[in-house]
Structure 1
Amino acid sequence: MNNSALRIFLPDVVGKGYAAFWKFKGRYRVVKGSRASKKSKTTALWIIVNMMQYPQANTLVVRKTFRTLKDSCYTELKWAVHRLGADPWWKFTESPLEAEYLPTGQKIYFRGLDDPLKVTSITVDVGVLCWGWIEEAYEIMSEDDFNILDESIRGSCPPGLWKQWTLTFNPWNEHHWIKKRFFDNPDDETLALTTNYMCNEFLDAADLKAFDDMKIRNPRRYAVAGLGGWGIVEGLVYENFREAEFNPKDEAFLADHPSLVSCFGLDFGYTNDPTAVFCGLLDQKKKQLFVFDELYEKGLSNKRIAESIQAMGYGKERITADSAEPKSIDELKSLGLRIKGAAKGKDSVKNGIQWIQDLEIIIHPRCVNFITEISNYTWEKDRFGVMTNAPIDDFNHLMDAMRYALENYITGSKWIC
C-alpha cells in the first residue's frame, strides 16, 4: 500500500493565514485564536500531511481530561484525513483511542492528563515520538503540569525530524501562565500566533453574521472569541475557589466530611448555549463545596440530556433545573429523572451568589468547563467602567446550574419532588 495516488494542492485544502505556522520547526508553536479561526483544523491537517511525509514521525495528542478527546481532536483528525482524501491509508480505532497510518505503522496517540502515567510511558512501535498537540491548552492551569508533559517527548530524532509541541486555545484569561511564558517572552524556539475568524475563508454568511451580532451584543466576548485577544479578568464574582484532586467515593474523604450532601443543577441550552449540569457535594459544617463532575454540551435534546445524565450514573439524583423551561422539566421527568424547577424569585441571583461566596469551592481537575467559567465570571460594568452588583450574562451556564443545585440550602427549603 502506498500514497502515490494522493495529489492535493494544500492552499485549497488548508486556506490562508497559517504559512508561518506550517513552516515553523522550533520546539513550541502556540496559537491563541477566536472561534472558527481554523487553529484546530489546521493543526489536524498539518499532523496528517506531515506524518505521511515523514515515515519515522509519531504524534501525541493531549487534553486535560481524556474523555474530551474523542469529540474534539480525534474527530478533527478524522475530518482532516477525509478532507485530504487519505481515508484508504488511515485506520482510526476507539479502543484504544488512536490512529494508524497503515503504509508505515506510524501512530497518533491520545492521552489525558487525568492519567499521567499513560502520558509519560508511551512506547512507539515505529520511529520516534516527536510531535505533540495540546488542544484547549488553556485548561492546563499549572505550568508544572505542562513541564512534565513537555518531558514526555525526549531523546534524539532521526535526521530530518524535529521535536515540537503545538498548543491551541481560546485566550480567556490574560493572567494564564501561557501568556507570560510564550507570548510575553518568546525565544527562538517559540512561534506565538494570534488568529481570528477573519482568516477563515470557509465561513459562510450565517457564520459571519453570528460574529457581527456578537460584536454588537457582547463586545467583551467578541474581543476574545471574535478577535482572539486576551480576556481581561477584573472583578471576579467568586474568588474562593481552587483546583484539587479528590475522590468523592474514597473512604478517607467521606470520613473527613460525614455531613456531605449531593447537589445537582441543570441549566438548559441548545444551539448557541450549552446544556450545563453541575454535580457537587456540599459540606455545610465546613463550608466547603466540592465540584466533582459536569455535563457541558450544545445541541442536546431532552431525551439526550436524560440519557447523558443516566450514563454518567446520576439518573437517581435530585436535580434542580432552570424553571424557565417547565415543558422540558416535565419531559425529563417522564424520561425518569428526579427533577424540579428552581423557585428563583426576587434577588435570587444576588442572594445565591452571596451565599456561595461564603463557601470554599474545591474543583476536580476534570471539570474544565466549570474552571473556565468561574475564572471568567465577573461583575458587569456600567458605561463608565464601574463595577455593578450584577454579574455578566456570560460564562454563567454552570454558574447558574450551581445556584439552582444549592437553592434549597440557600433558602432553607425542603426538596419536594
Structure 2
Amino acid sequence: MKTGKQIFMPDMVGKHYGAFWRFKGRYRVVKGSRASKKSKTTALWFIFNMMKYPDANLLVVRKVYRTLQNSCFSDLCWAIRRLGVERYWKVTKSPLELIYVPTGQKILFVGLDDPLKITSISVPKGVLCWMWLEEAYEVTDEEAFDRLDESIRGQLPKGLFTQITITFNPWSERHWLKKRFFDAEPNENLFTATTNYMMNEFLSDSDLALFEAMKKNPRRYRVAGLGDWGITEGIVYDNWEERIFNIDEVRKRPGVRSAFGLDFGYTNDPTALFCGLVDVGARTIFVFDEIYERGLTNHQIADKIKERGYAKERIVADSAEPKSIAELRDDGIRRVTPSRKGKDSVNHGIQRIQDFHIVVHPRCASFLTEISTYCWDKDKKTGETINRPEDFNNHLMDAMRYAIMDAVREDGYSFK
C-alpha cells in the first residue's frame, strides 16, 4: 500500500526490543516493570504487522473484558496514531473492535469471563493466527490458558506464522508463568525477556525520578522497577479462595452486610474501590467487584461509582483525603464517609479479616493479584519479618480493611 509517507520504524519503537520484534516462534513472553514500554511496543508490532500480512487477524485477551478498553484497546489506538495510519483503520467501542479497512482484517477483544465467546470467535478474512494475552498474571488457572492456546490453530498461508504474545508484571515467583516459560529449557518456539524502565528512552526526567525514589523500598523496586519476580514470603492472608458465586443469592442470606471501601490514587497508585458482602454468622467475606484505575479525578471516580450502581451504598474512604471525600459528596456520592484510624488500626484490621474466609469472584483480577502478594514487611538491616504489612501493591487491601472494619464495627471493635 502506498501512503505517500515513509516511516522509519526504529524511531517509532526505540531500542532494546529488536529480538522481540523479529521473533516468529509460537510463544513470545515478556515480563517487565512499569514503564518498560512492553505494552506499547507490542501494540506497535501488531498494527505494523497486521498491515504487512494481509491474512493475519489478532485476538486480544485479558481475564476481565471490561479492563480491555483502557489497556490494550487504548494502546493499539495509540499505535495507530503514532504510525500515522488513522485513515486506514476503523475503530469501534461497542463492541471493542479494530478493522484494517483495505483488507477487512480484524483485531478482536475478549475476556476470559466470557468463555463461550472465545470458543465461537471467527474472522471473515484470513486466519486468526495471533493472540495477545495482556496482564497474564491475572490468569491464575493454567488450564484457562491452555484453552486459549488451543484456539490459535489452523492452516496458514505461506509466509504467515502462528504466535501468542504474553505480557505481564511479575508480582510473584509462585505463578505458573514462571515454571512454564521462564524455567523451561530453551527452544526455537519460545522467546522470553525481562524488561524494565531503563529500556524506555522515551521517559521524562520526572518519570525517572519516580524510579529513583522507589529504590528506597528494595522489594518494590525489584518488581516495579527492575521487572524481577516478586518473592512472596510471609503472606498476610492465606484464608481465601477464587470461586464463582451468585451475588444475589449471597445478598439474600440473613444478616449479610454490604462493605465498600475506597483508597484514593492518581498518577503512581491506582484508585481502588473494594466491593464486598460480609456474612458475619458464616465468618465469610465475598468479594464481588472492584474499580482499579490510575489517573482518575474525583469527578471520574464518582461517575464510575454511579455507572456500577453503587452511588447509594455506604462507602468508607481513606480518611487522609478529606477534600476528595467532600468532592465525591458534592458529585452525588452522599454516603461516602472517612475511615476510622488509630494506633495499630492496620494490624487490628488485618487480624479481624484473618478471622474470616474470603471468597473472591474471578472477575476481581486486581484484588486477586494484591491478596496473593500482600506480605509482611522486613527489617531493612536484619532481613527479619516485622509486624507490619509491606506498603506495596496494597490499595485494594487497604480499601478492604476500611470496608470490613466498618461493616463489623458494632460487633465490639473500635479504634478509639
Pick the TM interval, shorter chain: over 0.9
**Secondary structure, aligned partner of 2:122:** coil
355, 364, 378: which is aligned to 2:361? 364
Q: CA deviation at 1:111?
A: 0.6
Provide the rounded CA distance (Å) in 1 between the counterparts of 2:402 and 2:251.
24
Alpha-carbon RMSD: 1.6
| 1:398 equivalent in structure 2 | 396
**Identity over aligned residues, as a percent?**
61
Tell me the amino acid that sits aligned with residue 199 of structure 1: M
Provide the rounded CA distance (Å) in 2 between the counterparts of 1:63 and 1:409.
32
User: After alignment, is 347-356 or 270-279 more displaced?
Assistant: 270-279
Q: CA deviation at 1:413?
A: 6.3
| 1:280 equivalent in structure 2 | 276
Q: Is the 8 A contact 1:41 1:80 kept in 2?
A: yes
Matches within 5 A, 1:145-224: 145-186=144-185, 187-215=187-215, 217-224=216-223
What TM-score do you get using the length of structure 1 for normalisation? 0.95
Q: CA deviation at 1:31?
A: 0.3
Provide the rounded CA distance (Å) in 2 between the counterparts of 1:17 and 1:271.
26
| 1:385 equivalent in structure 2 | 383
Tell me the amino acid that sits aligned with residue 259 of structure 1: G
| 1:375 equivalent in structure 2 | 372
Provide the rounded CA distance (Å) in 2 between the counterparts of 1:3 and 1:225.
42
Matches within 5 A, 1:344-355: 344-355=341-352
Provide the rounded CA distance (Å) in 2 between the counterparts of 1:16 and 1:413.
58
Which string of whole-angstrom CA distances, capped at 9 and with x for unpartnered residues, describes residues 52-91 of structure 1? Answer: 1110000000011110111111111111111111111111
Change in 2 beyond 3 A, CA 1:214/1:180: same
| 2:287 equivalent in structure 1 | 291
Unaligned runs of 5+ in 1: none
Q: CA deviation at 1:4?
A: 4.3
**Secondary structure, aligned partner of 1:412:** helix
Q: CA deviation at 1:303?
A: 1.9
Which string of whole-angstrom CA distances, capped at 9 and with x for unpartnered residues, describes residues 29-53 of structure 1? Answer: 0000111111111111111111111
Which string of whole-angstrom CA distances, capped at 9 and with x for unpartnered residues, describes residues 206-253 of structure 1? Answer: 1111111111x221111111111111110011011111112202x4x5
Q: Is the 8 A contact 1:322 1:342 kept in 2?
A: yes
319, 324, 330: which is aligned to 2:326? 330
Provide the rounded CA distance (Å) in 2 between the counterparts of 1:23 and 1:301.
40
Provide the rounded CA distance (Å) in 1 between the counterparts of 2:92 and 2:25.
31
| 2:39 equivalent in structure 1 | 40
Provide the rounded CA distance (Å) in 1 between the counterparts of 2:324 and 2:211.
29
Which string of whole-angstrom CA distances, capped at 9 and with x for unpartnered residues, describes residues 166-187 of structure 1? Answer: 0001111001000000000143
Q: Is the 8 A contact 2:259 2:406 kept in 1?
A: no
Matches within 5 A, 1:223-234: 223-234=222-233
User: After alignment, is 305-314 or 98-107 more displaced?
Assistant: 305-314
292, 310, 315: which is aligned to 1:314? 310
Q: Is the 8 A contact 1:62 1:113 kept in 2?
A: yes
Which string of whole-angstrom CA distances, capped at 9 and with x for unpartnered residues, describes residues 265-295 of structure 1? Answer: 1112223222211100011111110100111
User: After alignment, is 237-246 or 339-348 more displaced?
Assistant: 339-348
Tell me the amino acid that sits aligned with residue 405 of structure 1: A
Q: CA deviation at 1:321?
A: 1.3
Provide the rounded CA distance (Å) in 2 between the counterparts of 1:10 and 1:361.
49
User: After alignment, is 267-276 or 68-77 more displaced?
Assistant: 267-276
Provide the rounded CA distance (Å) in 1 between the counterparts of 2:406 and 2:67.
32
| 1:128 equivalent in structure 2 | 127
**Secondary structure, aligned partner of 1:276:** strand
Tell me the amino acid that sits aligned with residue 271 of structure 1: T
Q: Is the 8 A contact 1:355 1:410 kept in 2?
A: no
Change in 2 beyond 3 A, CA 1:271/1:254: closer
Tell me the amino acid that sits aligned with residue 52 of structure 2: Q
Provide the rounded CA distance (Å) in 1 between the counterparts of 2:230 and 2:137.
12
User: After alignment, is 153-162 or 126-135 more displaced?
Assistant: 153-162
Which string of whole-angstrom CA distances, capped at 9 and with x for unpartnered residues, describes residues 374-412 of structure 1? Answer: 111110111211111111111221111111111234442
Provide the rounded CA distance (Å) in 2 between the counterparts of 1:299 and 1:162.
38
291, 296, 303: which is aligned to 1:300? 296
Change in 2 beyond 3 A, CA 1:73/1:409: closer
Tell me the amino acid that sits aligned with residue 381 of structure 1: K
Q: Is the 8 A contact 1:133 1:165 kept in 2?
A: yes
**Secondary structure, aligned partner of 1:36:** coil
| Number of residue pairs aligned between Structure 1 and Structure 2 | 410
Tell me the amino acid that sits aligned with residue 371 of structure 1: L
**Secondary structure, aligned partner of 1:44:** helix
Provide the rounded CA distance (Å) in 2 between the counterparts of 1:343 and 1:53.
58
Unaligned runs of 5+ in 2: none
Which string of whole-angstrom CA distances, capped at 9 and with x for unpartnered residues, describes residues 295-334 of structure 1? Answer: 1122222222221111110011111111122232233223
Tell me the amino acid that sits aligned with residue 201 of structure 2: E
Change in 2 beyond 3 A, CA 1:3/1:364: farther
**Secondary structure, aligned partner of 1:141:** coil
**Secondary structure, aligned partner of 2:47:** helix
Q: Is the 8 A contact 1:3 1:89 kept in 2?
A: no
Provide the rounded CA distance (Å) in 1 between the counterparts of 2:225 and 2:366.
19
Provide the rounded CA distance (Å) in 2 between the counterparts of 1:406 and 1:12.
50
Tell me the amino acid that sits aligned with residue 365 of structure 1: P
Q: Is the 8 A contact 2:278 2:407 kept in 1?
A: no
Provide the rounded CA distance (Å) in 2 between the counterparts of 1:196 and 1:151.
31
| 1:340 equivalent in structure 2 | 337
